[in-house]
Amino acid sequence: MSRLVYFDCASGASGDMVLGALVDLGLPLEVLRQELAKVPLGGYRLEARPVDRSGLRATKVDVVIDGHDHGHDHDHDHAHREHEHRGLGEILDLLGRSSLDGIVKDRAAALFRRLAEAEASVHGIAPEEVQFHEVGAVDSIVDTVGGVCGLAWLRADRFVASPLNVGSGVVTMSHGTFPVPPPATARLVHGVPVYGAGEGELLTPTGALLVTAHATAYGPLPPVRVETVGHGAGSRDTPGRPNVLRLIVGEEAAETATERVLVLETEIDDMPSQLYGPLMDRLLATGALDVFYTPIQMKKGRPGMLVTALCHPARREALEEVFFTETTTLGVRRQEWDRTALERDRVVIETLYGPVAIKVGRRGGRIYNAQPEFEDCRRAAEARGVPVKEVWAAALAAYRDRGREGR
């Protein structure tokens, strides 16, 4: 069994709709506020309220900017926004100075880089020159970072999404009036199944970023034992069509242990060694299942490095973009492999140093592997001032004791 989260995007998706669905699922608003407080960004407050969308109860989350007595409505109407603009460097600096968990920080930074690259390709400029007109505003930074934090809180083993409804018609933004989906959003969903239904812009850049950064497959809801469902409301109340993003969370029984993965690789012999660390971080943050380096001998007697990344097929283009922007390579090879994966489960156990999650791999009812989550061990070790290996050993011993006691 594995924990699955399904994005039902029949009415599109936006950042505040993602936050609303997460709070509706049970994410405490105060927990979300505490996580966002780790980013040195002030001038706003986060509020949540129940609303009705075509007869369906949903949760609306608003980022209320100081000096304004209304929530933001960027999910379907970008027009005439007067919020502060920010460049990529300033946003990355905010994230870098934050005390967010490392994985959350890297994922949020990767999303803003990806958006900057999409905007830059549309306008024919460098990503560093992009000024974010909508997503650079305080409310949208909160949506993006809060979405990453909240989706991490779900502790999902897999995210799946329906085809994305982008809407129809036109949308007016700071650069002018554009057909739906606007140019940057269209680039963000490259390679992802989309369709247009309903009037107006239903899929925003923030929504596209959050869904495509997490979903590894697209299509109908897979077989799943539903645990809970959350509805996140958009700003508009559209008659006859609930303007909500639905998140479905449940336990998924794998139909087969075999799945298809892509292997992307390239050889490099002319890149400074210091760049390989950030490259691995960027690939993993963009959705790679694994990344590894192999020393090789290349032409003219040059020592080189074979860079290999494994990913789900839906993440191919995003990862290839990382290869081309972060390395000196001129080409990336790919091949498709079958892989057999154990069913994955997560068990939280109590130790002398606090709670630690254990990753459990099983097949046919037999447990093959059980390993503590390293990040949980690292945080507990830092909090208690002990070596990580002590927390690791204590967590593994507690899990084994629990098994012997039959719990």
CA distances from 343 to 76, 228, 314, 330, 369 (A): 39, 21, 21, 38, 10
**Closest Cα partner for 342 from 300, 370, 376?**
370
Higher per-residue pLDDT: 309 or 314: 309
| pLDDT tens, position by position, 24-35 | 999 999 999 999
Residue given tokens 């254990």 in the structure block: 358
Q: Are 151 and 206 in contact (CB under 8 A)?
A: no
| Of the listed ranges 51-65, 251-265, 310-324, the one predicted with least confidence | 251-265
What percent of the chain stands above pLDDT 90? 59
| pLDDT of amino acid 404 | 61
- DSSP annotation of 203 reads B
Instruction: Read off φ and ψ for residue 112, nearest 5 degrees.
Output: -70, -35
| pLDDT tens, position by position, 168-199 | 988 776 666 778 888 888 989 988 999 998 88
| pLDDT tens, position by position, 126-159 | 777 766 655 557 888 899 999 999 999 999 988 9
| pLDDT of amino acid 257 | 54
d(CA 166, CA 202): 5
This prediction has a pTM of 0.64
Q: Enumerate residues 6+ apart whose C-beta is below 8 A from 384.
A: 353, 354, 391
> What mean pLDDT is predicted for residues 329-350?
88
Q: Please report which helix (H) or strand (E) contains residue 388, including its range.
A: helix 388-404
> What mean pLDDT is predicted for residues 354-377?
89
| pLDDT of amino acid 136 | 56
Q: What is the crossing angle of helices 388-404 and 374-384, to 10°?
A: 120
Question: Cα–Cα–Cα angle for 127, 131, 132, nearest 5°?
Answer: 105
| pLDDT, averaged across the chain | 87
| pLDDT tens, position by position, 267-276 | 999 999 999 9
* Token pair in block for residue 365: 């009812």
Instruction: Read off φ and ψ for residue 149, nearest 5 degrees.
Output: -60, -45
Instruction: Fill in the amino acid letter for 367.
Output: I
| pLDDT tens, position by position, 204-263 | 999 999 999 999 889 999 889 999 999 999 998 888 889 999 999 999 865 545 678 999
| pLDDT of amino acid 134 | 53
